Amino acid sequence: MAAPHDLRFDCGRICLDLVATADGTPAERLIRPEHLTAWLVGAGVVPHGTPLDGVDGGWVTRFRALRDLLRRVVHDELRGRAADADLTLLNATAGAADPPAVWAVRAADGGLTCAFAGPPDCAGLLAAVARDAVRLLTDGAARGQLRQCAGESCSLVYLDTSRGRRRRWCSSEVCGNRERVARHRRRTMDRDGAVGQGAAPAAD
Protein backbone atom coordinates (compact mmCIF):
# COMPACT_ATOMS: atom_id res chain seq x y z
CA MET A 1 0.00 0.00 0.00
CA ALA A 2 1.21 3.49 -0.82
CA ALA A 3 2.53 5.67 1.97
CA PRO A 4 3.41 9.36 2.07
CA HIS A 5 7.12 8.53 1.74
CA ASP A 6 6.36 6.91 -1.64
CA LEU A 7 5.39 10.29 -3.08
CA ARG A 8 7.75 11.94 -5.54
CA PHE A 9 8.32 15.62 -6.21
CA ASP A 10 11.11 15.58 -8.81
CA CYS A 11 9.29 16.25 -12.09
CA GLY A 12 9.78 20.02 -11.97
CA ARG A 13 6.16 21.22 -11.90
CA ILE A 14 3.21 20.72 -9.58
CA CYS A 15 1.01 19.32 -12.35
CA LEU A 16 3.68 16.81 -13.41
CA ASP A 17 4.20 15.75 -9.80
CA LEU A 18 0.49 14.96 -9.60
CA VAL A 19 0.81 12.72 -12.67
CA ALA A 20 3.72 10.99 -10.90
CA THR A 21 1.37 9.72 -8.18
CA ALA A 22 0.25 6.91 -10.52
CA ASP A 23 3.45 5.58 -12.04
CA GLY A 24 6.02 3.09 -10.85
CA THR A 25 5.80 0.94 -7.73
CA PRO A 26 3.35 1.18 -6.10
CA ALA A 27 1.32 2.13 -9.15
CA GLU A 28 -1.23 4.11 -7.09
CA ARG A 29 0.01 6.56 -4.50
CA LEU A 30 -3.20 8.48 -3.80
CA ILE A 31 -5.26 5.88 -1.97
CA ARG A 32 -6.45 7.54 1.23
CA PRO A 33 -7.04 11.15 2.31
CA GLU A 34 -3.75 11.22 4.25
CA HIS A 35 -1.87 10.42 1.04
CA LEU A 36 -3.49 13.36 -0.74
CA THR A 37 -2.81 15.60 2.26
CA ALA A 38 0.88 14.64 2.16
CA TRP A 39 1.00 15.30 -1.57
CA LEU A 40 -0.67 18.72 -1.31
CA VAL A 41 1.89 19.83 1.26
CA GLY A 42 4.90 18.15 -0.37
CA ALA A 43 4.12 19.54 -3.82
CA GLY A 44 3.70 23.05 -2.43
CA VAL A 45 0.03 23.37 -3.34
CA VAL A 46 -0.64 24.38 0.27
CA PRO A 47 1.76 25.95 2.79
CA HIS A 48 3.07 23.79 5.62
CA GLY A 49 0.81 23.92 8.63
CA THR A 50 -2.37 24.53 6.61
CA PRO A 51 -5.36 22.80 8.26
CA LEU A 52 -6.64 20.16 5.84
CA ASP A 53 -9.31 18.52 7.95
CA GLY A 54 -11.76 18.63 5.04
CA VAL A 55 -9.76 16.27 2.84
CA ASP A 56 -11.79 13.09 2.36
CA GLY A 57 -12.38 10.32 -0.15
CA GLY A 58 -14.26 12.71 -2.43
CA TRP A 59 -11.17 14.89 -2.71
CA VAL A 60 -9.04 11.85 -3.54
CA THR A 61 -11.44 10.86 -6.34
CA ARG A 62 -11.43 14.36 -7.83
CA PHE A 63 -7.65 14.73 -7.72
CA ARG A 64 -7.20 11.31 -9.30
CA ALA A 65 -9.59 12.36 -12.09
CA LEU A 66 -7.56 15.53 -12.69
CA ARG A 67 -4.36 13.47 -12.66
CA ASP A 68 -5.72 11.16 -15.37
CA LEU A 69 -6.75 14.18 -17.43
CA LEU A 70 -3.32 15.78 -17.05
CA ARG A 71 -1.61 12.56 -18.09
CA ARG A 72 -3.63 12.42 -21.29
CA VAL A 73 -3.14 16.08 -22.14
CA VAL A 74 0.62 16.17 -21.46
CA HIS A 75 1.38 12.95 -23.32
CA ASP A 76 -0.86 13.88 -26.24
CA GLU A 77 0.76 17.31 -26.52
CA LEU A 78 4.22 15.70 -26.52
CA ARG A 79 3.12 13.42 -29.34
CA GLY A 80 1.43 16.18 -31.25
CA ARG A 81 -1.95 17.50 -30.12
CA ALA A 82 -4.25 16.98 -27.14
CA ALA A 83 -7.93 16.34 -27.76
CA ASP A 84 -10.09 19.46 -27.72
CA ALA A 85 -12.46 17.77 -25.26
CA ASP A 86 -9.62 17.25 -22.79
CA LEU A 87 -8.46 20.86 -23.13
CA THR A 88 -12.03 21.96 -22.45
CA LEU A 89 -12.07 19.87 -19.25
CA LEU A 90 -8.69 21.26 -18.18
CA ASN A 91 -9.84 24.83 -18.75
CA ALA A 92 -13.09 24.17 -16.91
CA THR A 93 -11.17 22.87 -13.89
CA ALA A 94 -8.79 25.84 -13.98
CA GLY A 95 -11.71 28.27 -14.05
CA ALA A 96 -14.13 26.50 -11.74
CA ALA A 97 -12.89 28.34 -8.65
CA ASP A 98 -10.18 30.72 -7.53
CA PRO A 99 -7.17 29.18 -5.76
CA PRO A 100 -6.92 30.20 -2.10
CA ALA A 101 -5.44 33.64 -1.44
CA VAL A 102 -1.95 33.53 0.06
CA TRP A 103 -0.97 35.89 2.86
CA ALA A 104 2.40 36.75 4.38
CA VAL A 105 2.16 36.15 8.14
CA ARG A 106 4.62 36.49 10.97
CA ALA A 107 5.96 33.17 12.24
CA ALA A 108 6.89 32.40 15.85
CA ASP A 109 10.57 33.06 15.10
CA GLY A 110 9.79 36.52 13.73
CA GLY A 111 10.23 35.63 10.06
CA LEU A 112 7.57 35.80 7.39
CA THR A 113 5.84 32.70 6.10
CA CYS A 114 2.99 31.88 3.72
CA ALA A 115 -0.50 31.05 4.90
CA PHE A 116 -3.90 30.82 3.30
CA ALA A 117 -6.41 33.53 4.10
CA GLY A 118 -8.97 30.83 4.93
CA PRO A 119 -9.53 27.07 4.79
CA PRO A 120 -8.95 25.77 1.25
CA ASP A 121 -11.66 23.89 -0.59
CA CYS A 122 -11.19 21.09 -3.09
CA ALA A 123 -12.27 23.09 -6.16
CA GLY A 124 -9.81 25.87 -5.39
CA LEU A 125 -6.87 23.49 -5.01
CA LEU A 126 -7.83 21.60 -8.17
CA ALA A 127 -7.91 24.94 -9.97
CA ALA A 128 -4.41 25.77 -8.71
CA VAL A 129 -3.00 22.54 -10.16
CA ALA A 130 -4.94 22.91 -13.42
CA ARG A 131 -3.70 26.48 -13.86
CA ASP A 132 -0.14 25.28 -13.36
CA ALA A 133 -0.70 22.87 -16.26
CA VAL A 134 -2.22 25.62 -18.43
CA ARG A 135 0.78 27.88 -17.77
CA LEU A 136 3.20 25.04 -18.55
CA LEU A 137 1.54 24.03 -21.82
CA THR A 138 1.23 27.60 -23.06
CA ASP A 139 4.79 28.67 -22.17
CA GLY A 140 6.96 27.89 -25.20
CA ALA A 141 10.24 27.85 -23.25
CA ALA A 142 8.95 25.60 -20.47
CA ARG A 143 7.12 23.36 -22.91
CA GLY A 144 10.36 22.88 -24.82
CA GLN A 145 11.90 21.43 -21.65
CA LEU A 146 9.34 18.63 -21.36
CA ARG A 147 10.94 15.20 -21.64
CA GLN A 148 9.69 11.62 -21.53
CA CYS A 149 11.68 9.52 -19.07
CA ALA A 150 14.09 7.13 -20.81
CA GLY A 151 13.44 4.46 -18.19
CA GLU A 152 12.35 1.20 -19.80
CA SER A 153 9.14 0.87 -17.79
CA CYS A 154 8.55 4.53 -16.88
CA SER A 155 6.02 6.80 -18.57
CA LEU A 156 6.66 9.94 -16.52
CA VAL A 157 7.19 13.33 -18.11
CA TYR A 158 9.48 15.83 -16.41
CA LEU A 159 10.88 19.31 -16.95
CA ASP A 160 14.54 19.15 -18.02
CA THR A 161 16.29 22.22 -16.65
CA SER A 162 19.73 20.60 -16.54
CA ARG A 163 22.77 22.18 -18.18
CA GLY A 164 22.88 21.17 -21.82
CA ARG A 165 19.44 19.55 -21.49
CA ARG A 166 21.08 16.15 -20.95
CA ARG A 167 18.81 14.77 -18.24
CA ARG A 168 17.52 11.34 -19.32
CA TRP A 169 15.44 10.16 -16.39
CA CYS A 170 12.63 11.50 -14.26
CA SER A 171 14.86 10.63 -11.29
CA SER A 172 18.51 9.61 -11.27
CA GLU A 173 17.91 7.80 -7.98
CA VAL A 174 14.93 5.81 -9.31
CA CYS A 175 14.99 5.20 -13.07
CA GLY A 176 18.63 6.19 -13.49
CA ASN A 177 19.77 3.78 -10.80
CA ARG A 178 17.51 1.05 -12.22
CA GLU A 179 19.14 1.52 -15.65
CA ARG A 180 22.65 1.43 -14.18
CA VAL A 181 21.88 -1.81 -12.34
CA ALA A 182 20.45 -3.36 -15.53
CA ARG A 183 23.50 -2.23 -17.54
CA HIS A 184 25.84 -3.75 -14.97
CA ARG A 185 23.84 -7.00 -15.02
CA ARG A 186 24.06 -7.16 -18.83
CA ARG A 187 27.83 -6.59 -18.77
CA THR A 188 28.25 -9.31 -16.15
CA MET A 189 26.16 -11.76 -18.15
CA ASP A 190 28.07 -10.94 -21.37
CA ARG A 191 31.40 -11.40 -19.60
CA ASP A 192 30.36 -14.67 -17.99
CA GLY A 193 29.03 -15.89 -21.32
CA ALA A 194 32.29 -15.05 -23.08
CA VAL A 195 34.29 -16.83 -20.38
CA GLY A 196 32.05 -19.88 -20.69
CA GLN A 197 32.41 -20.00 -24.45
CA GLY A 198 36.17 -19.71 -24.25
CA ALA A 199 36.63 -22.42 -21.63
CA ALA A 200 38.52 -25.56 -22.65
CA PRO A 201 36.40 -28.69 -23.01
CA ALA A 202 36.59 -31.16 -20.15
CA ALA A 203 38.83 -34.21 -20.64
CA ASP A 204 37.12 -37.59 -21.17
Whether the predicted pLDDT of 26 surpasses 80 = no
Whether the predicted pLDDT of 10 surpasses 50 = yes
Beta strands in 72-201, from DSSP E residues, in sequence order: 102-106, 112-116, 146-148, 157-159
Whether the predicted pLDDT of 199 surpasses 60 = no
Closest by Cα among 131, 127, 152, 158 to 63: 127
The percent of residues in the chain predicted with pLDDT above 70, rounded, is: 80
> 4-146, which class in CATH?
mainly alpha
pLDDT of residue 203: 47
pLDDT of residue 181: 63
Averaged pLDDT for residues 21-29: 77
Closest by Cα among 171, 176, 179 to 17: 171
Residues across the chain = 204
- Tens digit of pLDDT for each residue in 100-126? 999 999 999 999 999 999 999 999 999
Average pLDDT over the chain, rounded to an integer = 87
Averaged pLDDT for residues 68-84: 95
Spatial distance between the Cα atoms of 32 and 54, rounded to a whole number of angstroms? 13
pLDDT of residue 152: 78
Boundaries of every domain in the chain? 4-146
Whether the predicted pLDDT of 191 surpasses 90 = no
User: Model-level pTM?
Assistant: 0.83
